[in-house]
Amino acid sequence: MSRCIIHADLDAFFASVEQLDNPDLRGRPVVVGGPPESRGVVAAASYEARAYGIHSAMPMRTALSLCPQAVRLSPRFQRYADISKRVMDIFRQLTPLVERISLDEAFLDVSERVSKGCSPEEAASTVKERVRRGVGLTVSVGVASSKSVAKIASGLNKPDGLTVVSPGGEQQFLAPLPVQSLWGVGPKTAERLAGDSITTIGDLAGKSEE
């Protein structure tokens, strides 16, 4: 039996919790992080804020210069932890095989559920619907036969995405994607690889180990 792994990633988690708790913030650019005067950085940005080029780890001063109308909020880590626990409990109702990676993401092994007749798409849709109904947040999910491919898949159609990579289709799915889609390949590594004409995962796969 082929494994069926779901990577579930809550969308813009900290910012989404703030919009959940304060309906006035919904549809507005929200950035969570320290104040600009104390060299604060962005811990999370809503998708409305991301439209202005704001991203995590950006200096808050830069973020607010890109979007002066953004609402800056200090993090409420205990609240995020409470919501995360509720989400993980929902995951464990679907399968006992849950590997939490951080407050806002986890792997779920739903191989047994699929072996009993549930399709991978149905399993993923159930995850999304249970989180939406139980907590009020959206989650993007990727489904594949391995954790690494599932994680890449979950990031492709955010927010609220669902991407399934069928067993045997991994190579075709991965080949055209940018090499930095791989877990652990950051900007510096991608730059070095580009120097060797490696810009996609397919380029990398075609090279020798050396």
Give the count of beta carbons closer than 10 Å to the beta carbon of residue 120: 24
- Joined tokens for residue 49: 């804020």
Mean pLDDT of 35-43: 90
CATH label of the domain that carries residue 42: 3.40.1170.60
What domain count does the chain have? 3
Tell the residue number behind the tokens 């407050």, with chain if given.
103
Give the pLDDT of residue 58. Answer: 93
pLDDT at residue 118 is higher than 90: no
pLDDT category, 117, cuts 50, 70, 90?
A: confident
The model's pLDDT over 149-190, given as tens digits with 9 standing for 90+, comes to 999 999 998 999 999 999 989 999 999 999 989 888 888 999
Ramachandran area for residue 134 (φ above 0: left; ψ -120 to 50: alpha; else beta): alpha
Confirm whether 210 is domain-assigned. no
The model's pLDDT over 188-202, given as tens digits with 9 standing for 90+, comes to 999 999 988 899 999
Separation of alpha carbons 18 and 46, rounded Å = 9
Q: Are residues 187 and 200 in the same domain?
A: yes
User: 3-class SS at 185?
Assistant: coil
pLDDT category, 132, cuts 50, 70, 90?
A: very high
Q: What is the mean pLDDT of the chain?
A: 93
Q: Pick from 56, 73, 90: which residue ends a domain?
A: 73
Mean pLDDT of 58-66: 95
Q: Are residues 84 and 63 in the same domain?
A: no
Give the pLDDT of residue 97. Answer: 95
Separation of alpha carbons 150 and 183, rounded Å = 11
- Domain residues for the domain of 198 are 175-205
Ramachandran area for residue 109 (φ above 0: left; ψ -120 to 50: alpha; else beta): beta
Give the pLDDT of residue 1. Answer: 52
Separation of alpha carbons 142 and 148, rounded Å = 10
Q: Are residues 140 and 159 in the same domain?
A: yes
The residues carrying an active-site annotation are 105
Higher pLDDT, 210 or 177: 177
Q: Are residues 85 and 158 in the same domain?
A: yes
The model's pLDDT over 3-38, given as tens digits with 9 standing for 90+, comes to 999 999 999 999 999 999 999 999 999 999 999 888
Strand extents, DSSP E, 23-130: 30-33, 42-45, 71-73, 98-102, 105-109
Separation of alpha carbons 46 and 199, rounded Å = 29
pLDDT category, 207, cuts 50, 70, 90?
A: confident
